[in-house]
Amino acid sequence: MHKRAKGEISMTEESFLFVTRTLNDNHRQCGGVDGVEFLIYNWGLAWKHYDNPVHRHSFYEVCYVLDGEGEYEDDEVTYKLECGSLFASLPGHWHQIRSRTGLKLFFVAFEVIAADSSPETRRYEADLLGCPSPVVAGQERVTALLWRALYRHVLLQPADDGPQTNGLCNLLLRSFPATFGRHDGSSASKPKSFSRSRSHLVQLAKRYIRDNLSSPLRLEEVAAYLNVSARHLSRIFKEELGQSLVDYVTRIRMHEAEGLLKTTLCSVKEIADLTGYHSVHYFTRVFADRYGIPPAEYRRKTLSSNL
């Protein structure tokens, strides 16, 4: 049903829906053999994608334009999209897709599973977050070929929910850093690459902090994870965010604690532990300094205001 008369693979709205459903039902995790493992939030094949609102997210999203024209805005910089364009939405970046005619898109939203903090995992994220441009176009690239190979394979072998399809998924995701890391070497591209190389370290640090809130999160610990000196990390964190890493950690911990007080039945002690405070007294003092009242009272007031 998905083949053309001469053995070519059909490209229809129906086949897009079929491949999307098959991948999302069976391939939400891949990799791991070479030290990098991926958690897939969503596989997508859009028959006609027009505009979406300006937004950001904490995961990666990489798209491939099969047909159509449009624009992609990333952190207030606008890029042209056309047939063959590949573009990456990085964690924390405000972005938007715009198209009057509609774009045929393949896309995948994912994050890198970093439980073991392997050197390969850190290198993958450093390379992808440090890409000089979120959009690449022009010549046919490995990533584009792998997108089409995965699409064809799922249509021809829909029952294969095992190693072959997973292997193709892994090859596709592993191709992203090399694809987006390339540039023409011109002097015009170098300042942007240098600027983003600083910001990608901060992005990695913020992600590590988010995923390890219950640990001490000392400056030296985060710097060791990123393989940079504590002094260097402290300096670029201050320059990029206008606050110290210690202040940032406290802010994120308090934001998480506030959410847990509002939405869970966890005790104040449990919330203190979850957000990295192993002294309830110290947690209460920090929370009261920020919100003006102790956490238990904050919870009571929040609950009463919602009645």
DSSP-assigned beta bridge partners for residue 9: 3
- Asked if the model's pLDDT at residue 307 lies above 60, the reply is no
Nearest to 173 by CA among 109, 105, 89: 109
* Average of per-residue pLDDT across 113-137: 81
The residues of the chain that CATH labels 2.60.120.10 are 13-181
Fold that domain 253-305 belongs to in CATH: Arc Repressor Mutant, subunit A (1.10.10)
Comparing 159 with 202, the larger pLDDT belongs to 202
Nearest to 15 by CA among 26, 30, 27, 4: 4
Residue pair 96/81 in contact (Cβ under 8 Å)? The answer is no
Fold that domain 190-247 belongs to in CATH: Arc Repressor Mutant, subunit A (1.10.10)
- Asked if the model's pLDDT at residue 188 lies above 80, the reply is no
Residue 34, token pair as written in the block: 């070479």
The residues of the chain that CATH labels 1.10.10.60 are 253-305
- Identify the three-state secondary structure at position 228: coil
DSSP-assigned beta bridge partners for residue 39: 29, 111
- Asked if the model's pLDDT at residue 182 lies above 80, the reply is no
Superfamily of domain 13-181: Jelly Rolls (2.60.120.10)
- Asked if the model's pLDDT at residue 86 lies above 50, the reply is yes
Residue-wise pLDDT for 90-112, tens only, equals 887 888 999 999 999 999 999 99
Nearest to 90 by CA among 126, 64, 117: 126
CA distance 167 to 121: 17
